[in-house]
Structure 1
């Protein structure tokens, strides 16, 4: 299993460095902030696709939701751990270069504890998410499950399905394609996949557990240990928060496009 972690430690930093070199060669007019930001998004999309594929394989292979096991669970957890650690660094680089390009009064002039602290304050929820996956989710998956529940770990892997669409949306904005039909279609899939795979997946897991043991969905929670329900709530809560933010952003974009269309129609009428 150590081999999987070593592979992850080579693959993800290698991809990030490769993306930076390729993008810098193709988009010579881009700033370091643009290049690092897009490279980090591409890396996130690739990891998310791999996680979703692994999750789908695990879920489809486990007939018994509690006792069936799959080798991908532990191996992909170890393979993805270096990504979680490295992505924190990549997000910090993106924040650092973006603040420097903006030239705000609080922008860091060089890498320092102040620059790191500014990043932690601004992106505290994403940092907490990555840290929790490394320090809580990974040990539980590898050591404390006693080989049970691979099906549910596979379900949690599939929550990454929305990430490629989120990353694509940000890349389209970077390419100044945010007013295109492609961006609107991508936004629809962001909302659809996020709601389906990050929110509905939790009642789905409860339903599958209840179906196997003959328990109605509304009673499943009472048959599970308290720590299972609390753990699910801890994971679900930020997903609901992020989904609300996505809905607000989608509404702002919709209202802006309506105003722009109204202005165009008014200009034609005049």
Structure 2
């Protein structure tokens, strides 16, 4: 629960910072805001903390089930963690090793607006954290859980999917060119970077849609994974 709370606080701070940055930049390429660089330093250190916290939580869960060694940092435990959360680990590592140096030095002070938009992708995290907390409390059948599930889908789609075409549209408006021509007006690495960031978002969104389908297609709002865990508990009694 504590990790969920910390994650939600960080996500809220990131979203607010991103909104301030994006709305302060009238020129999407050249306008600057001091938060753009400073917050990325904070976000990078948070990602290191979050990665460690995720691993320790995974290790404790697996230890209770007897799936890992008692040594916290054994090769078996690390492999188990990577198999389960590979994309999330890759996401965290990329922020520290790629986004941080690009933001601080390689972009030469350009594009604070786009960085602000990317920070706002964290807006869906508090809803995701609330959903996981409710799941742990076995509140899957409550109205709050279902409403939060819809808010997760809406926030994720708006802030993690739609934000990418929005950034291209904002660039096209700034330079008075058709939106479909923007990919040909910006450097190739910008398009590749956007695609690399967007691809896992599409994958995660597809998983959320599948989970929502299970949730709302079940008569009592209990998804298959919940039924499976209940059956396991009954069989063990």
* Counterpart residue number, 1:174: 136
The answer to whether the aligner puts 1:142 opposite 2:142 as a matched pair is no
* Counterpart residue number, 2:204: 242
* Counterpart residue number, 1:192: 154
Aligned length: 221
Deviation at 1:40, TM superposition (A): 1.5
Judge conservation of contact 2:16–2:120 (CA < 8 Å) in 1. yes
Partner residue of 1:221 out of 183, 186, 192: 183
Task: Output the CA distance in 2 between the equivalents of 1:48 and 1:192.
Answer: 16
The answer to whether the aligner puts 1:51 opposite 2:51 as a matched pair is no
TM-score normalized by the length of structure 1 = 0.79
Q: Unaligned regions of 5+ residues in structure 2, if any?
A: 223-237
Q: Unaligned regions of 5+ residues in structure 1, if any?
A: 1-37, 261-270
Deviation at 1:159, TM superposition (A): 0.3
Task: Output the CA distance in 2 between the equivalents of 1:244 and 1:62.
Answer: 32
Partner residue of 1:232 out of 189, 194, 215: 194
* Counterpart residue number, 2:225: none
Greater RCO (Cα-Cα under 8 Å, separation 6 or more): 2
Deviation at 1:259, TM superposition (A): 8.0
Deviation at 1:182, TM superposition (A): 0.3
Partner residue of 1:93 out of 31, 35, 56: 56
List per-residue Cα deviations over 1:61-104 (Å, max 9, x = no partner): 00000000000011101112111001000000110111122x25
Partner residue of 2:71 out of 110, 115, 123: 110
Partner residue of 2:114 out of 145, 149, 152: 152
The answer to whether the aligner puts 1:81 opposite 2:44 as a matched pair is yes
Task: Output the CA distance in 1 between the equivalents of 2:99 and 2:221.
Answer: 45
Deviation at 1:120, TM superposition (A): 1.5
* Counterpart residue number, 1:263: none
Judge conservation of contact 2:141–2:220 (CA < 8 Å) in 1. no
* Counterpart residue number, 2:27: 64
Q: Which has the larger radius of gyration?
A: 1
Task: Output the CA distance in 2 between the equivalents of 1:213 and 1:257.
Answer: 52
Deviation at 1:121, TM superposition (A): 1.9
* Counterpart residue number, 2:166: 204
RMSD: 1.3
TM-score normalized by the length of structure 2 = 0.90
- SS in structure 1 opposite 2:13? helix
Judge conservation of contact 2:215–2:221 (CA < 8 Å) in 1. no
Task: Output the CA distance in 2 between the equivalents of 1:255 and 1:188.
Answer: 14
List per-residue Cα deviations over 1:135-170 (Å, max 9, x = no partner): 001110001111000000000000000000000000
